């Protein structure tokens, strides 16, 4: 059967054509069921995916004009369906599964296995479900009410949720196996901010993006804010700062405009909100009252690698009230440091095979804690595979 280009362009092969057909036939519940069964986080992905590179970017109508606004159609269907959705309640007879972390990967695994009658418990270190979806994506991009509605459906499935619980502290992976959990899934994401490692980084006006976005209400950034970074997170930080009292926000990039990694429309939104960009500058020191910035140059080392370095003698003070570093994140080591047998790579990311099995029997992982920071839909794609692997493991090996 022919598969449309828009479906081919989606990492989880969303059946877009069929969903639109059902919508036009006034069969919205059938369309919603189709989307949800393919992607448990359809209601989220339609809001945060980079559609211009995926479904809409592959739409045949976009070759000569405007593509179908697939994200808006999926959002309409998914919103409607979640209001009427009556999930199947798990019979809990296939065994206990522990889900550590309730970000995109954890939610996908929990939803899939609960629908297959597993006794699922989510262990979440924060006070509410969502992980990076709740604590890393601003409200104006992903309303918290969407996550609240999704959380209610988890309860209706019979999934148990233990908030404010950090596995690796009071409870360990060994404790979970002792208590008859047949499998453990690690989906803890990447919550350790990467540092610039320059002098002054511990000063009171220097903050990190992943921590700022968790609860921007508790920060007093002042009127003039600098954001260091050129990715989507940096754009989120800049736009959030404006919404919390900042009057001037500058985004500092150590290369030129062509190297911005953020989505084009996220950059445009940041500019519309008032953000200005400063290119080819590198922070060499944080000082009271701002940052010392130097011009940068690109050199090629002996291995033909491109290296950006500050030019000595070009340092100047950039005055600002606060600085937010938004360059990348890595995983925290609390689980692997308290558990024997789980291998990690040089970046601290959990090593797995192609179906999510770690080096310890019965322990699986996927999402950002394995791949580093990726997209929500990529976490869903891999986690659907891992859910099948967990199901197969418990059915045939336990």
The structural domains of the chain, with segments of one domain joined by +, span 5-84, 96-190+330-397, 195-327
**Which CATH number is associated with domain 195-327?**
3.50.50.60
Residue 371 dihedral angles phi and psi, to the nearest 5°: -100, -10
Listed residue (193, 211, 222) closest to 327, CA to CA: 193
pLDDT at 334: 73
CATH 1.10.1060.10, domain 5-84, yes or no: yes
Distance CA 268, CA 52 (A): 14
Distance CA 360, CA 110 (A): 20
Which homologous superfamily does the CATH classification assign to the domain defined by 96-190+330-397?
FAD/NAD(P)-binding domain (3.50.50.60)
**Which residue, chain included where needed, has tokens 């059902």?**
22
| 96-190+330-397 and 195-327, same CATH topology | yes
**How many CA atoms within 13 Å lie on the side-chain side of 227?**
29
For residue 175, give both structure tokens: 């404790």
pLDDT at 385: 97
Distance CA 188, CA 334 (A): 10
Task: Quote the Cα angle for 165-355-112, to 5°.
Answer: 55
**How many CA atoms within 13 Å lie on the side-chain side of 203?**
19
User: Would you write out the chain's pLDDT as a tens digit for each of its 398 residues?
Assistant: 678 889 999 999 999 999 999 999 999 999 999 999 999 999 999 999 988 889 988 888 888 888 999 999 999 999 999 999 999 999 999 999 999 999 999 999 999 999 999 999 999 999 999 999 999 999 999 999 999 999 999 999 999 999 999 998 889 999 999 999 999 999 998 888 999 999 999 999 999 999 999 999 999 999 999 999 999 999 999 999 999 999 999 999 999 999 999 999 999 999 999 999 999 999 999 999 999 999 999 888 888 888 889 999 999 999 999 999 999 888 877 787 777 889 999 888 999 999 999 999 999 999 999 998 899 999 999 999 999 999 999 999 87
pLDDT at 1: 61
């Amino acid at each position: 059967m022919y598969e449309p280009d828009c479906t081919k362009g989606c990492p989880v092969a969303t059946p877009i054509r069929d969903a639109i057909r059902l919508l036009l036939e006034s069969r919205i519940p059938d369309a919603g069921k189709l989307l949800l069964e393919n992607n448990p986080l359809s209601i989220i992905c339609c809001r945060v995916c980079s559609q211009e590179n995926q479904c809409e970017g592959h739409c045949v109508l976009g070759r000569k004009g405007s593509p179908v606004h697939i994200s808006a159609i999926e959002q309409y269907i998914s919103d409607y369906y979640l209001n009427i959705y009556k999930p199947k309640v798990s019979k809990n007879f296939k065994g206990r599964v522990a889900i550590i972390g309730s970000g995109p990967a954890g939610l996908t695994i929990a939803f899939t296995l609960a629908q297959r009658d597993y006794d699922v418990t989510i262990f979440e270190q924060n006070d509410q479900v969502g992980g990076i979806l709740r604590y890393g994506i601003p409200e104006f991009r992903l309303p918290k009410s969407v996550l609240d509605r999704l959380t209610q459906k988890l309860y209706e499935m019979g999934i148990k949720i233990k908030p404010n619980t950090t596995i690796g502290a009071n409870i360990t992976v060994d404790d979970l196996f002792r208590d008859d959990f047949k499998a453990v899934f690690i989906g803890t994401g990447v919550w350790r901010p990467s540092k610039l490692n320059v002098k002054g980084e511990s000063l009171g006006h220097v903050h990190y993006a992943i921590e700022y976005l968790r609860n921007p209400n508790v920060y007093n950034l002042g009127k003039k804010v600098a954001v260091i970074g050129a990715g989507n997170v940096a754009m989120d930080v800049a736009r959030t700062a404006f919404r919390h009292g900042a009057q001037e926000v500058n985004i500092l990039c150590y290369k030129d405009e062509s190297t911005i990694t953020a989505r084009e429309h996220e950059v445009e939104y940041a500019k519309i909100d008032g953000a200005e960009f400063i290119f080819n500058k590198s922070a060499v020191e944080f000082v009271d009252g701002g940052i010392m910035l130097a011009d940068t140059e690109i050199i090629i080392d002996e291995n033909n690698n491109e290296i950006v370095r500050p030019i000595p003698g070009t340092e100047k003070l950039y005055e600002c009230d606060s600085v937010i570093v938004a360059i990348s994140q890595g995983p925290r080591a609390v689980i692997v440091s308290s558990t024997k047998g789980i291998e990690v790579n040089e970046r601290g990311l959990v090593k797995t095979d192609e179906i999510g099995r770690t080096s310890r029997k019965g322990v699986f992982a996927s999402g950002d804690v394995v791949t580093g920071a990726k997209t929500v839909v990529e976490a869903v794609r891999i986690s659907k595979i891992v859910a099948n692997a967990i199901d197969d493991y418990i059915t045939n090996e336990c």
